[in-house]
Structure 1
Amino acid sequence: MKNILLVLFALFLVSACENDQAVVSENAVSLSLSKEAKFKSVPPQTVLDYNTQYVLPFELLTTTSEGVEIRNGGYGSATTAHPTKAGEFYALTDRGPNVDYADGKKFPVADYTPRIGHFAITKEGSVVLLNETLFKDPFGNTISGLPNPVGKGATGEIPYDINNNVLPYDDYGLDSEGLVALKDGSFWVSDEYGPHIVNYSAEGIELERISPYGINDGNGGRKLPKVFAKRRANRGMEGLAVTPNEKTLVGIMQSTMFNPSGGAATNRTVTRIVTFDLETGITKQYLYKQEANNLSNSEIVALSDKQFLVVERDGKYSGDGVVQKYIYKIDLEGATDVSGSNVEAELGMLINGKTLEGSSWDEITNAGIQPVKKELVADLAALTGYPHDKLEGLWLINHNTLGCINDDDFAVIDNDGNGVLDQKILPGTGGSIDSSSLYMIHF
């Protein structure tokens, strides 16, 4: 492995209370993570301008023979507040750098391990990476971001290395996208393979893996409803939250599931939310109505046990034209539980023999089903000129202050769909390479 990413970016965090106070950590110090770790330092700032971009520095994983930098960034797939320490937060990577190739994905750094970064804001107004938690299997071995085999969450994606050789599947591989940090130091992570919801210890060791299949270690028979196996490849459980009492996980699917199969879903504006009672394992499901076909719900964070903030976005860049990077407040109160009578039903609840994804909103409404209520609270592009394609992390700092972080895809992309890595350049910026960046907003 190359040197692990060590992030320092400068800001002074002002909370949005009646009398603005600095939110800092007494414990924020530059710690050496390992003998290979080294920190980069920048001068501290004394003023934080809201609606301004703060770029997270990076280190190189490698450079391709064509000169494309693969950056050890990626801390933007999810973000969550530290549950007990003001001014500290966690940020999540996904499965690692990858691009589409043939009938699967090419992984140029095939041994990359998905991870959580623990960040803190110092008294001086800078942000330091205190440590990283690499994900491990139940036996303590680091996992990869490679796809799961058949029967354990396979998406149909075949993994290839940089030289186009087929790679082995990983039983415990994770395409991590949603993150929850509990007060006991453990984490819950949702992903886009199974989809899985995985409980990790503070040291990153897998404690329980919950999926629609019920075949993974340590789950005690606890499962997600079987219909969630109909998720689309690379559009699985993109967001994960926990209620303030830490009793219920709440996950949201990125886009419409292919239910019954393939591209048969005709309603491309319906996505699903699932709640999971951590004590009983009981689940409930709700529908979310997107504003247009094939948008992405890429983050969810709890305001209460019923109200949440949700990202609804497209995959466009503002440098190419009009974009949608919306943050909604949603309310489960009054929404219909669409679990049906049998959570083991492969297609889930049906309406006149049709799946929910195969039914129009008129048919859904006529069946007495109400989706979650939603209210637009922030248009990030309008507020900041947001140049990135992927808004995926929300750090809830207080009742009306958010930190918003993008996924930079490790600075690589495949522009032509031929499996060749290109540098991920932000349109309209004069050639700037995409980097994970923090935007502070009031909502």
Structure 2
Amino acid sequence: MRLRTVLATATAALAAATCLTAAGPASAHANSGNRHACSPSVSLDRFSDALDKTTYQGTFVGNFSALAVDGRDGSLAALSDRSALLKLESANTLTPEAVVPLADESGAALDSEGLVIDRDRTRLISSETEPSIRRYSRDGRILDRLPVPDDLKVAPAGRAVSNGTFEGLTLLPGGRTLLASMEYALAGDSGDIVRFQTWNRTPHGRFTLGPQYAYRVDTGLGVPEVQATPDGRLLVLERGFTAGVGNTVRLYVADPRRATDTSHVDKLTGQDNITIINKTLLTDIVSCPSLGATAKQPQPNPLLDNIEGMAITGRAHNRLRVVLVSDDNQNAVQTTRFYYLRVRI
């Protein structure tokens, strides 16, 4: 997603600054015994800026909105929101190996945001323009398009806000359920409640609309990415930006399995008699060690940037290996940065 500035009231800005100030000493004390710890549940192994402001075969390497591992060859797919899919040798090396241009049915560019590599190695890619989810072949041909509920379409066709729809995309364990996260609330819904839409795979391999769930975001934040964990829960990124202060990025584990299907609930007011997705904070990235990172604009921690993509790349010592990536928006004051986390859920 293009860089967005969250316009906050003076009260909200003051509250955010107070939270960040209060979190600093407490986080430093909690991490004093482990220089890589972000929290008791998350540690940062390293980061890499190796691909920042580079090109490959004439394509700008950046604007990354999603990551996915190809289980067949171990490569890492990195999706640009400027309508390109880059193949990297692996999450560790980040060496570019191929690039595939993407387009819609008319040949127009996509605002491509979410990515899943399916079991047949086709690519499911969401665009937040309409929004849409299309299935692509490995060489970029459109094979299928999934249905989208009317309410989730961008106004005036629906109630979604422009640039705030299908940011996250993930396939749940077993491969039978696809889930997409809206970044922001629908018009008429409470501003801190976003909808997660699912699709169920049919015996013929197509996807039909499934249940929808409500997820409550922290004040002023949206959901840029979700990833399913091996046990059926979700890792959820929440993110925001305040000019002159910088980014806020938090990582949650969430469990949709007992949440109410809200597909037939017209307006989510926050007072509804429904069960929303339960979430637990794993870490606020501001609490991670900077490990020598530098920032090109004000940030509460120089490690931070516009983090937007996430992939689970494996497991080690009862922790998930998780890679995050920031979207530099092809902007001189932002960085394409990969973050290597270990997460205990």
Query: Does TM-score exceed 0.5, indicating one fold?
Result: yes
- Deviation track 1:6-60 (CA, whole Å, cap 9, x = no partner) reads xxxxxxxxxxxxxxxxxxxxxxxxxxxxxxxxxxxxxxxxxxx824343314346
| Residue in structure 2 matched with residue 271 of structure 1 by the alignment | 194
The amino acid that maps onto 1:439 is Y
The amino acid that maps onto 1:93 is S
1:298 aligns with 2:262: no
Q: Distance in 1 between matches of 2:55 and 2:69?
A: 27
Alignment of 1:217-232 (within 5 A): 223-229=147-153, 230-232=159-161
Shift of the 323–57 alpha-carbon distance from structure 1 to 2, 3 Å rule, reads closer
- Alignment match of 2:128 (pick from 189, 192, 201): 192
Q: Distance in 2 between matches of 1:305 and 1:284?
A: 19
Q: Distance in 1 between matches of 2:136 and 2:313?
A: 24
**Matched position secondary structure for 1:314:** strand
1:307 aligns with 2:233: yes
The amino acid that maps onto 1:270 is I
Q: Distance in 1 between matches of 2:302 and 2:340?
A: 12
The amino acid that maps onto 1:438 is F
Unaligned runs of 5+ in 1: 1-48, 62-70, 97-113, 146-173, 211-222, 260-264, 341-348, 412-423, 426-433
CA shift, 1:438, in A, is 0.6
| Residue in structure 2 matched with residue 183 of structure 1 by the alignment | 119
1:55 aligns with 2:50: yes
Q: Distance in 1 between matches of 2:181 and 2:302?
A: 23
Shift of the 249–386 alpha-carbon distance from structure 1 to 2, 3 Å rule, reads farther
| Residue in structure 2 matched with residue 391 of structure 1 by the alignment | 307
CA shift, 1:437, in A, is 1.0
Q: Distance in 2 between matches of 1:388 and 1:233?
A: 25
Q: Distance in 2 between matches of 1:398 and 1:226?
A: 37
**Matched position secondary structure for 2:140:** coil
1:144 aligns with 2:108: yes
Q: Distance in 1 between matches of 2:194 and 2:282?
A: 20
Q: Could you tell me whether the CA contact under 8 Å between 2:305 and 2:335 is conserved in 1?
A: no
Shift of the 306–72 alpha-carbon distance from structure 1 to 2, 3 Å rule, reads same
Unaligned runs of 5+ in 2: 1-43, 154-158, 291-300
The amino acid that maps onto 1:208 is D
CA shift, 1:331, in A, is 0.5
- Alignment match of 2:169 (pick from 240, 243, 247): 240
1:338 aligns with 2:258: no
1:328 aligns with 2:252: yes
Q: Distance in 2 between matches of 1:256 and 1:375?
A: 20
Shift of the 197–239 alpha-carbon distance from structure 1 to 2, 3 Å rule, reads same
Q: Could you tell me whether the CA contact under 8 Å between 2:49 and 2:335 is conserved in 1?
A: no
The amino acid that maps onto 2:335 is S
| Residue in structure 1 matched with residue 84 of structure 2 by the alignment | 115
Q: Distance in 2 between matches of 1:245 and 1:407?
A: 30
Q: Distance in 2 between matches of 1:119 and 1:51?
A: 18
More strand by share: 2
CA shift, 1:137, in A, is 4.8
Q: Distance in 2 between matches of 1:182 and 1:386?
A: 35
Q: Could you tell me whether the CA contact under 8 Å between 2:172 and 2:228 is conserved in 1?
A: yes
| Residue in structure 1 matched with residue 77 of structure 2 by the alignment | 90
CA shift, 1:134, in A, is 1.3
**Matched position secondary structure for 2:330:** helix
Q: Could you tell me whether the CA contact under 8 Å between 1:75 and 1:117 is conserved in 2?
A: no
| Residue in structure 2 matched with residue 282 of structure 1 by the alignment | 209
| Residue in structure 2 matched with residue 128 of structure 1 by the alignment | 95
Name the structure, 1 or 2, with higher relative contact order (CA <8 Å, separation 6+).
2
CA shift, 1:92, in A, is 0.5
RMSD between superposed Cα atoms in Å: 2.5
Shift of the 272–305 alpha-carbon distance from structure 1 to 2, 3 Å rule, reads farther
TM-score, normalized by length of structure 1?
0.58
The amino acid that maps onto 1:326 is R
Q: Could you tell me whether the CA contact under 8 Å between 1:297 and 1:311 is conserved in 2?
A: yes
**Matched position secondary structure for 1:52:** strand
CA shift, 1:77, in A, is 0.6
Q: Could you tell me whether the CA contact under 8 Å between 1:316 and 1:389 is conserved in 2?
A: no
Q: Could you tell me whether the CA contact under 8 Å between 2:53 and 2:330 is conserved in 1?
A: no
Q: Distance in 2 between matches of 1:179 and 1:121?
A: 16
1:209 aligns with 2:136: no
CA shift, 1:84, in A, is 2.6
CA shift, 1:127, in A, is 2.7
TM-score, normalized by length of structure 2?
0.73
| Residue in structure 2 matched with residue 162 of structure 1 by the alignment | none
Following TM superposition, the consecutive aligned residue runs of length 4 or more in structure 1 with deviations greater than 4 angstroms are 386-389
